[in-house]
Chains A and B, each alone.
Chain A
Amino acid sequence: MSGIEYDRYWSPVFDVLDELVFLIDHDFTLVKVNKGFIRFTGKEEKELIGRKYFEIIHGRDGLAPEGMPPAIFSPAQPEKREIYEPDFKKWLWMSTTPIFGQSDRIVGFIYRSNDITKHKRVEEELKKNKEKLEIQIWGLNKTNEGIKLLYKEIEKKNKELQGLDQLKSDFISTVSHELRTPLTTMKEFTSIILDEIPGKLSKEQKEYVEIIRGNIDRLARLINNLLDISKIEAGRTELKKTLVDITNLAESVVSTLKPEAEGKHIEFRTLFPAFAIDVYADPDKVIQIFTNLIGNAIKFTQELGQITVEIIDKGNEIECSVADTGRGIAPEDMGKLFTKFQQFGRVAGAGAKGTGLGLAITKGLIQKHNGRIWAESKIREGSKFIFNLPKKTEFKFLQEALELEVSQEIDSEEYCTLLIIETLNFNSLKQELGRNDVMRLSSIIRNMISVALRKSEDALIRIGDNKIAVVLVTKKIDDAAGIIDRLRLSLQKKLFFKKEFESKVEFSLGVGTYEKEVINIDSMIEAAGEVYKRLTMPIIGKREIVVVDDEESLLATVKLNLEETDEFRVYTYSKAVEALEGIAHIMPEVIITDITMPEMNGYELIGRLYEYEGCEYIPVIFITGHSFDDKELAGLRLKKIVKLSKPFEIKELIDKINLVSNRRS
């Protein structure tokens, strides 16, 4: 190659490059190579110069540059391509530029090349990942479409189910009415016949009609059971939950069924805790549950057996069980116990035949209360049915009740007052006084409180045996104060049917008033927790006396004299009717009443007092200028009746008051 003075410039320019550079002449012989090329091929310069370039590099097919006749090259556009060099296992980016000599003839080519192996690998990697991703996306899309289809199916099925549900509801209503109506008619007419209204019956006829009546009853029971179970299944049983004493309910069922058991000489044993256990449940349903279980126990126990009903307080739940010494249940039948229409063997002896639904209904009811039921049994030894019901903590119950009450009452410009009245020494009282007395006490306290309230507007929530919460909603902040005072005084009176209680019972009254705008249920409930913990507020006040007499002057004199002692607060009434209301509200320590009064006399007044619960224990002093009718007095059934004849002295009256009063002076 003449005329090209590249030697001088070659090394300084091309040897510093990483690129491979080589020159070939018009017949593809390597003329010049740079250090990069030497490095890449691993051969020495003398091995390379003079060889055909395609023997060294681009060696796959040993041919001229792929499909590119040199004539096509234009000076301006070098040919560029990516080439894989299999001998070196590398990728090169190659640029070929023709060198033009005289008269535009190509005299050679200069090749520049870059090792792009790494780059190529990254490219491959990306491509592979892209493909993988595309497949994943495709897969997900297909799955998505499948899900959409399923969703449509579900919606369709849902609609069908709703339709079926409606059908079922309609069926229940129809059955309810259509089946019962003829049954009622049949029952009525059998009654009429049995009453012998259309004519006398022969012994046989009577017997037969009674059989018919028995079957009508049986049919009615079956229909009711069927409806029960349908309602439970459809979730339509509404529970009217309230705080109930489950021991009480169990006892009432036991006493109802006792005669039946006694007929078979079956002994009842009850193991109940000493005191009431409050459970948040629907009392009617609880009775139904016990009736079913105890009824079954009686049915399946032979003569001279024993039935044990037990209730255990387990903290956050109560566990009840009915155990019998009857026939027992075979192991293979245990699984089917609570299913519908299962009846296990013929019952020996008389007794209403079951419908096979009792246990299924019982289970349904228990589950509705979030409880569980199960059974243990040994053939010929007996069976035990156990169920538990969750207890709500007092506080939780208060929370729920508060939410219900307060949310119903509240509207914007009102105040909400929360009171918690607690009988402090309730537990020791239980020990000391015995269960019955203490329960009565509870009931009286409740009434005392409810009388002090404004009847329906205020909510009284029994939270436990010894705690009552009251929610007052008032327009002005002061309004509650009046009610609270009344309440406090009422509690202070401590009018209980036994004198000894009065000194023993201690109350605590906690109060919190909240502005409605500020109030929210949560803060109120939190405050309730605080109020819960508050200490006893002293309850002190004057002794209240009610005097009833149609003689105004007497009223004035008695009031003046009694109040002068500073010990009493006297309320006077000249009409018995007014006095009644007054006594119910005030709950005085003692009532002093005249006997002869127009419209209603003293005897009637006291007699009427029995309508007001709690008032029947208020001691009475009868005053009269005439004689006393002892018969009337006896008829009043009062424990303490004291007579005072007019005229009397105030000292006498005060003595009598102290004598008759329940409060120790």
Chain B
Amino acid sequence: MSKKILVIDDEPTILVTLRDRLRMEGYEVITATDGSAAMEAAINERPDIIIMDIMLPDISGYQLCKDIKEIKEINAGIIMMTNKIDAVDAVKAREHGADDFIVTMAGYDAVLESIKNFI
């Protein structure tokens, strides 16, 4: 049974790139481009893993992470991504309950690696 992954990012190119790469690896992928759509998808689809950018148009990624973690039924591993390198972001992500934190400046290979760790 393949794992279900929810990808949340407001940048269409990133969303599509990541989605296609994950599908190539054999994962089932659903996408969302903002916080409310993401929350809906998380509740309805119950993904195993959620990958989200720290910046979203309607809500901060950190807040979304915290909210999702509070809903025990969802029970997904949350990977937060950012295109900057700043330890402060990583710390904040952890404080809000993120399970992993990936810097995407050098590409998305690291994201894929991280997903494997959840399996």
Q: Choose one: A138, A140, A153; the contact of B106 (CB below 8 Å).
A: A153
Report B-chain residues with C-beta under 8 Å of the C-beta of A560: none
Chain A residues in contact with chain B, CB under 8 A?
135-136, 138-140, 142-143, 145-147, 149-150, 152-153
Asked whether, in the complex, the Cβ of A149 is within 8 Å of the Cβ of B94, the reply is no
In the complex, the answer to whether B106 meets A149 with C-beta atoms within 8 Å is yes
A152 / chain B contacts, CB cutoff of 8 Å: 106
- CB pair B101–A142 under 8 Å, yes or no, is yes
Residues of B contacting A153 in the complex (Cβ-Cβ under 8 angstroms): 105-107
Q: Which residues of A contact B100 (CB under 8 A)?
A: 142
Contact of A140 among B90, B107, B110 (CB under 8 A): B90
Q: How far is the CA of A149 from the CA of B102 in the complex (A)?
A: 10
- Tell me, yes or no, whether B95 is within 8 Å of chain A by CB: yes
Q: Quick one: which of B81-119 are within 8 Å of A by CB? A: 85-95, 100-103, 105-107, 109-110
Q: How far is the CB of B59 from chain A (nearest CB, A)?
A: 21
Give the docked Cα–Cα distance between A526 and B106 (Å).
52
Contact A150 B110 (CB under 8 A): no
Interface centre among B85, B87, B93, B100 (most CB of A within 10 A): B87
Secondary structure class of chain B's binding surface, majority of residues: helix
With A140-B90, A149-B107 known, 17 other A-B pairs at CB within 8 A are A135-B94, A135-B95, A136-B91, A138-B90, A138-B91, A139-B91, A140-B87, A140-B91, A142-B102, A143-B103, A145-B103, A146-B103, A146-B105, A147-B85, A149-B105, A153-B105, A153-B106
User: Which bucket holds chain B's interface residue count?
Assistant: 20 to 34
Measured between beta carbons, the chain B residues less than 8 angstroms from A140 are 87, 90-91
Shortest distance in angstroms between A159's beta carbon and chain B's nearest beta carbon?
15
Q: In the complex the two chains form, is B105's CB within 8 Å of A139's CB?
A: no
Q: List 22 A-B contacts (CB under 8 A).
A: A135-B94, A135-B95, A136-B87, A139-B87, A139-B88, A139-B91, A142-B100, A142-B101, A142-B102, A143-B85, A143-B87, A143-B90, A143-B103, A145-B103, A146-B102, A146-B103, A146-B105, A146-B110, A147-B103, A149-B109, A150-B105, A150-B106
Residues of B within 8 A of A142 (CB): 90, 100-103
**Closest Cβ of chain A: how far from B11's Cβ, in Å?**
19
Residues of A within 8 A of B93 (CB): 139
Q: Which chain A residues border B88 with CB–CB below 8 Å?
A: 139
Q: Complex Cα distance A153/B86, Å? A: 18
Question: How far, in whole Å, are A136 and B90 apart by their CA atoms in the complex?
Answer: 8
Can you name the residue of chain B whose Cβ is closest to the Cβ of A134? B94
A138 x B107 contact (CB < 8 A): no
Residue in chain A with minimal CB distance to B105: A150
CA distance A140 to B89 in the complex (A): 10
In the complex, A138 Cα to B87 Cα: how many Å? 9
CA distance A481 to B88 in the complex (A): 72
A149 with B90, Cβ < 8 A, contacts A135-B95, A139-B101, A143-B103 known: no
Name the distance in Å between A158's Cβ and chain B's nearest Cβ: 13
Q: Name the A residues within 8 Å of B95 (CB-CB).
A: 135
In the docked arrangement, what's the CA distance between A142 and B109, Å? Answer: 15
CB distance from A147 to the nearest CB of B (A): 6
Q: Chain A contacts of B87 at CB under 8 A? A: 136, 139-140, 143
Given A139-B101, A142-B100, A143-B103, the answer on whether A150 and B85 have CB atoms closer than 8 Å is yes
CB atoms of A135 and B110 under 8 A apart? no
**Which residues of A sit under 8 angstroms from B101, Cβ to Cβ?**
139, 142
A146 to B113, CA, bound (A): 13
* CA distance in complex: A116, B3 (Å): 50
Nearest-neighbour CB distance to chain A for B102, whole angstroms, equals 7
Instruction: Chain A residues near B91: list those with CB within 8 A.
Output: 135-136, 138-140
Determine whether the beta carbon of B86 is less than 8 Å from that of A143.
yes
Are A146 and B94 closer than 8 Å at their CB atoms? Answer: no
A227 CA to B89 CA in the complex, in Å? 48
Chain B positions within 8 Å of A138 at CB level:
90-91, 94
In the complex, per-residue mask of B33-66: 1 if CB is within 8 Å of any chain A CB, else 0: 0000000000000000000000000000000000
Cα A149 to Cα B103 in complex, Å, equals 9
> Is there contact, CB below 8 Å, between A149 and B110?
yes
- The listed residue with most B CB atoms (<10 A of its CB), out of A136, A140, A143, A152, is A143
Q: Is the CB of B94 within 8 A of A150?
A: no
Chain A residues with Cβ below 8 Å from B107 are 149, 153
Residues of B within 8 A of A147 (CB): 85, 103
A145, B110: Cβ atoms under 8 Å? yes
CB contacts (< 8 Å) of B106 on chain A: these are 146, 149-150, 152-153
Chain B residues near A139 (CB-CB < 8 A): 87-94, 101
